[in-house]
Amino acid sequence: METLDRVVEPTEIVAGRYQLRPPSLRDVPDMMELSRDPEVVLWNPLASGADEETARAWAERWADWDGGQSAQFGVYEAVEGRLLGLVSLHKIDLLLSSAELGYRVAPWARGRGVATTAVRTVTEWAFGALELTRVQLIHAVENTASCRVADKCGFLHEGTTRSSYRYGDNKLHDEHIHGRLVGDPAPGR
């Protein structure tokens, strides 16, 4: 079986008033601030970038989408240009035609529809550009904001795993699994 060195090529997408593009070194200050946010620390324990050296390494790694193995989109206000959040498509498996999606929103951008717009956009991009059949997302049951985003973006709640992931509080949490298939009805805007 042939292996693929690069699964995806970095790209930019315009989504209404937001621009989605690979991270760059200009995002280092915002990434440092985002990585210190208590909500991000709790629900994204692998989030990195709280100090300048780590944030720079993060930006350099993801500018090339980790060698084409994952897609990491920074979400930006098209006019202002400030980093508002991140959406990543990872565990991309072209043979199984699936991937997993994750997201986080900066505290200065919450409540503005950033996550909903970005998740919808990246999901549609994955179905179109990568010809995936399934995109799933997983979040802690207590992370009700993520559950609302999943529902608004047309991801169906498919089940709950028990004590399945250790989050930033160092406790094992139950998680919801949400999935969306390419043929599922488009969610309301």
CATH number for the domain that contains residue 69: 3.40.630.30
Domain count for the chain: 1
Asked if the structure places residue 60 within a domain, the reply is: yes
Task: Decide if 123 is inside a domain.
Answer: yes
In terms of Cα–Cα distance, which of 184, 71, 66 is closest to 122?
71
Give the pLDDT band (50/70/90) at residue 45: low
For residue 34, pLDDT beyond 70:
yes
Is residue 116 assigned to a domain?
Answer: yes
Asked if 99 and 92 count as a contact pair (C-beta separation under 8 A), the reply is: yes
pLDDT tens figures, 7-19: 788 899 999 899 9
**181 inside domain:** no
Residue 138 confidence (pLDDT) above 50: yes
- Determine the average pLDDT of the residues in 115-125: 96
Angle at 185 between CA 68 and CA 182, to 5 degrees: 30
The length of the chain in residues reads 189
Instruction: Give a yes or no: residue 155 inside a domain.
Output: no
Residue 142 confidence class, pLDDT cut points 50, 70, 90: very high
* pLDDT band (50, 70, 90) for residue 58: confident
Q: Tell me, what DSSP letter sits at residue 108?
A: G
Q: What is the pLDDT of residue 157?
A: 97
User: Residue 107 domain-assigned?
Assistant: yes
Phi, psi of 125, deg, nearest 5: -60, -45
pLDDT at 5: 65
Q: Is residue 34 part of a domain?
A: yes
Contact, 87 vs 125, CB < 8 A? no
CA 136 to chain centre: 11
pLDDT value at residue 48? 60
Distance, C-alpha 88 to centroid of its chain: 3
Asked whether residue 119 is domain-assigned, the answer is yes
Domain with 55 in it: 13-136
Instruction: Please tell me the predicted confidence (pLDDT) of residue 2.
Output: 42
